[in-house]
Structure formats: C-alpha cells, structure tokens
Amino acid sequence: MSDREHRGSRDDPLDDIDFEEFELREPADWDDVEQTRQYEFSEYMLACPSCGIDQDAANRHCEQCGARLGQRRIAVASRPLRSVNAGGRALGIIVVVIALSVVAALVISAVRNGGDEGNGGVAATDGSSTTERETTTTRGQIQDIKPISIECSSQYNATLRCANLIDGIEDYWNDESLRGEDAWIRITFVNPIAFQQIQIINVSNEEKFRRNYRVRAVEVYADDLPGVPFRGDIPNDNDRPHRVTVETNATTELDIRIIATWPSEALGGEQAFDELAIEELIFWGYEQQTDPLESGEPG
C-alpha cells in the first residue's frame, strides 16, 4: 500500500491539502562552485524579503528563514519596549518631586525679594529691609475718635455750649444768634489721626430742628494738609447722621467752617430762631501709632 493510500485509510485531514515542496537548486557539479562563486554572487544572488540574507536567486525558499522568495516581505514584529519595574518608577517620581520642590523654592524666594524691594520696602543702612523707614506713623484700627478739646466761634449760653457737640448726648450747640454766619468749630486730638469721615448729626427734636438754622455746607481743613479743604453738603433733614468725607494722613487738628445754612422756620405761631444748631459731631479714622524706630523707643 502506498503512503498516500495508507494515510487515506486513516482519514487523515491533511490528505486534501497540497503542500509546496521545499527545494533548493543544487549545482550539478560541486567542483565548479568555487570557480563561479564570485560571478553568481554578483549576478544571481537575491536578498530574502524577510530576513535580508543574500542567496541564490533560483531558490524558491530562503536558506536562512525558509520564507518564500519572490513574495512580499513578511511582517516582523517590532522590538518590545523595555519594561519599567517598580524601582524605576519610584526613582522617576522622586526625581520629579525634587525638581518641583526646587522650582517652588525659587519662586517663593523671588516673590519675597520682590516684595522687599518693589512693594514699598527700602533697604536699611544696616543691610536689613524695612517698609518706609521715613514714615513716622503706622495705621491702626478704624474707630470713633474722641477729641481732647473743642472750640467754637461762639455759643449761645452755657447750656447750649460748644462742648455739647462731643458729649454723646442729645444736648446741642447754638451759635450766638449769628445764623451760622462765619461760624467755625476747631477740634484737637492727642495722637495723629488718619481720618476717613466726619458725621454731622442735626437736632433730633423736630420742632427745634426746624426753628433753628441748620448746616447746609461745610469745608473741613486738616493741619497736615494745609490749604486743602474737604467740602460736604448736608441735606435738610434730621433722620440720620450726614457724612462728610475727610481723608487725611496724620491730623492733630481739624477746622470746620460753615459756608452755607438752611433758614429757620416759624411753627405754630412761634417765631423762628436766629441761632445755628448742631447736636453732635462724630469723627472716624485710624489712630496712628509712633514708629519706635523713629522715636528712639526700644522695638
């Protein structure tokens, strides 16, 4: 029995497949190989499309890898990337963290140096850095500032005296029947004040408010800003304090000048008064503290 018949008798599934026989062309006379070697290499050698080995062009299959010659190149998988183990990853993370820390330190140092030199800071003679060494005061907390004394151009009597303007109660001040003409009020403070505003409170009693002259406009002068008035217009009502914006740096004395008034009114058959009336003055600002570096006090 032939070999094919023997395989067929076992129902071999490979019997129906035609295999291409692997063969190499061999020279008839091996003694002639050395004589023709150089000629065949230059004229009849063929590079394998898969592995690139030069060989006889008559070969049907590559002598090196067995690939079919004369066919398109067999795809070869690229070399796999080098795997990174846990130790390598940890080392990379440490390097990145160190680099970021260095950058952050440089940025913080640059910001601090810029703040000392470019944000109001000046170099001291001892090599240290301070803020505005020539400034003699520092700003505290905004508050209701109480004056040490007050003086007015005139007052009606001891009951309606000038001091009523800063006593915190409803007693009010009247000028001496002058209808507010050329009236002024001078206030003195212990420490230098950086003022923000003055509040003028009109007489709260409605009848007395209307029967007296009322402040309509004022100019405020500060001793640290000579010749620079702050003007304020006061409405003709008594339902709230009226604000006059006064922005100063280190004031110890304020001079309030009445430049216009609202006229008094006769009510219920009662005559109008000739006096200017104000119930209270409130001063808001920052009390300055003396810089110990300038005053010679220990820091």
Tell me the CATH number at 165. 2.60.120.260
Backbone angles phi, psi at 198, to 5 degrees: -120, 135
Query: Is residue 289 pLDDT above 90, yes or no?
Result: no
**pLDDT of res. 126:** 40
145 and 279 co-located in one domain:
yes
Task: Tell me how far the alpha carbon of residue 152 is from its chain's centroid.
Answer: 49
- Domains: count for the chain: 2
- Percent of the chain whose pLDDT exceeds 90: 46
Let me know whether 37 and 147 are in one domain: no
Q: Which domain holds residue 37?
A: 3-56
Question: Do 151 and 275 belong to one domain?
Answer: yes
Cβ distance 174 to 276 under 8 Å? yes
Residue with tokens 């000392």: 116
How far is the C-alpha of 167 from the C-alpha of 162, rounded, in Å? 10
Same domain, 165 and 47: no
85-99, 111-125, 192-206: range with highest mean pLDDT:
192-206
Give the predicted TM-score (pTM) of the model.
Answer: 0.53
Helix, strand, coil percentages (3-state) for the chain, rounded to 5, are 25, 30, 45
DSSP E strands, the chain: 45-47, 54-56, 121-123, 129-131, 137-138, 142-145, 149-152, 173-174, 184-201, 214-222, 225-233, 242-245, 251-262, 277-278, 280-287, 289-290
Residue 261 domain-assigned (yes or no): yes
Residues 129-158: pLDDT tens digits?
333 333 344 556 789 999 999 999 999 999
In whole angstroms, give the CA distance from residue 9 to residue 70: 37
pLDDT interval class at 48 (50, 70, 90)? confident
Residue 39: predicted pLDDT: 45
